[in-house]
Amino acid sequence: MHESLEPIYEKVVARNPGEVEFHQAVREVLDSIGVVMGKHPEYAHAKIIERTCEPERQIIFRVPWQDDRGEVHINRGFRVEFNSALGPYKGGLRFHPSVYQGIVKFLGFEQVFKNALTGLPIGGGKGGSDFDPKGRSDQEIMAFCQSFMTELHRHLGEYTDVPAGDIGVGGREIGYLFGQYKRLTNRYESGVLTGKGWAFGGSHIRTEATGYGNAFFVREMLAARDDSFSGKRTVVSGSGNVAIYTMQKVRELDGHVVACSDSEGYVLDEQGVDVELVKQIKERERGRLAEYADRRPSGKFVANRQVWEVPCEVALPSATQNEITGKEAEVLVRNGCVAVGEGANMPTTPEGVRVFREAGVAFGPGKAANAGGVATSALEMQQNASRDSWSHEFTEQRLREIMVSVHDRCYSTAEEYGLPGDYTAGANIAGFTRVAEAMLSLGLI
């Protein structure tokens, strides 16, 4: 980190004690943008960095709800509206027991620069709750979502703040949330939530977008090295929405996906992971990945082990933050990995990133590689605003174009600042400078 930025980072840590994920996200950006400050002294004068590290608004609220047995539960809800210099706050809602203020702030901070990289007019925000949807009935999830939206709705609007889904929040949850918003406001304001079902204002491929986008981004990284997915052994962590559609698109791009995982272990299938079977088990039956091996003879389930021990040429972490440490990164490099695309948010620790960089691995950071989800959310907003709907083919083509432009923006920015091939620096600098220029233009607000 440039010495002029160290005091800023220390102040962020002091003002946000215990929020280690947020500290990590801020440091990762500050490590990259020292070279920018020398070229743009006006950023320091206007204290752009300090302002981007402080959310515009943080909302914490109580979420009371009743389960099927009549027992009352109290969860905590969050929404961090981080930066609106480029447009309305945009970012998902996460329902998971690990959610607390630090997680939401880390995600919201990353979202600001990710959204800027898309080139679309959207700011950054994030939200969620420590509610755990696993094992809950549809009725219980509806009860929770309605209580959650009863408080959150007053802070939302298609020109103010537009949430989407994230871990634990899929089409079912978005439907319940939107229904309650409509009920409370008496407005059919389609653009206030994205990730909606196709029948009520949703966009084609929104479900697939993050996974598809990650595959498109990695394809561009490989192409920049005169390479491709063709025949490459690929390993994907996770088996949820992002992982499933990452695997699907990698197969279409001629990659060979041999493993995926969940919290209990991983499946290895040398014949190629059957994505439809994973989808059946995880999306429709809401079961465990261990069942895959019971239904497919070529599949082997390895319990309580990490998928990164499987030799591969392409690694696509698509589960959660900090799942690849320096140790896992060293194993991947030793086993011949040449490209990594982060489908999840910050799944690689700083030490892991260092290992990949020093080994010459093409590394796509999450704020670039997984930008396809929010990009397609913005496309859904466009369709809602114009009372229009686009075909699957047209929407996927727009997503592909956006991901190519995100890649090119990261690649060219890294070159411009003397850091060729460093996609992390390119993404951070390109995202930060776009936000900084907008903040300067808007004045001290």
Binding residues for substrate: 90, 111, 114, 165, 377
**Full set of structural domains in the chain with CATH:** 52-188 (3.40.50.10860), 209-364 (3.40.50.720)
pLDDT (0 to 100) of residue 38: 86
User: Cα(309)–Cα(300) distance, rounded to whole angstroms?
Assistant: 14
Contact in structure between 112 and 52 (CB atoms under 8 Å): yes
The letter for the amino acid at 143 is A
Binding residues: 90, 111, 114, 165, 210, 241, 377
- Summarize pLDDT for 259-305 with one digit per residue, the tens: 999 999 999 999 999 999 999 999 889 899 999 999 999 999 999 99
User: Cα(420)–Cα(356) distance, rounded to whole angstroms?
Assistant: 15
Catalytic option among 39, 47, 105, 126: 126
Dihedral of alpha carbons 30, 36, 41, 45, sign: negative
How confident is the prediction for the chain on average, in pLDDT? 96
- Summarize pLDDT for 78-125 with one digit per residue, the tens: 999 999 999 999 999 999 999 999 999 999 999 999 999 999 999 999
Distance (Å) of CA 291 to CA 24, 245, 265, 295: 36, 19, 12, 7
| pLDDT by residue, tens only, the chain of 445 residues | 788 899 999 999 999 999 999 999 999 999 999 999 989 999 999 999 999 999 999 999 999 999 999 999 999 999 999 999 999 999 999 999 999 999 999 999 999 999 999 999 999 999 999 999 999 999 999 999 999 999 999 999 999 999 999 989 999 999 999 999 999 999 999 999 999 998 999 999 888 999 999 999 999 999 999 999 999 999 999 999 999 999 999 999 999 999 999 999 999 999 999 999 999 999 889 899 999 999 999 999 999 999 999 999 999 999 988 999 999 999 999 999 999 999 998 899 999 999 999 999 999 999 999 999 999 999 999 999 999 999 999 999 999 999 999 999 999 999 999 999 999 999 999 999 999 999 999 999 9
Binding residues for NAD(+): 210, 241
Neighbours of 154 (CB within 10 A): 12
Catalytic status, residue 105 = no
Contact in structure between 109 and 22 (CB atoms under 8 Å): yes
pLDDT (0 to 100) of residue 320: 85
pLDDT (0 to 100) of residue 125: 98
Return all residues near 104 (Cβ < 8 A) that are at least 6 apart: 78, 79, 80, 94, 126, 127, 128
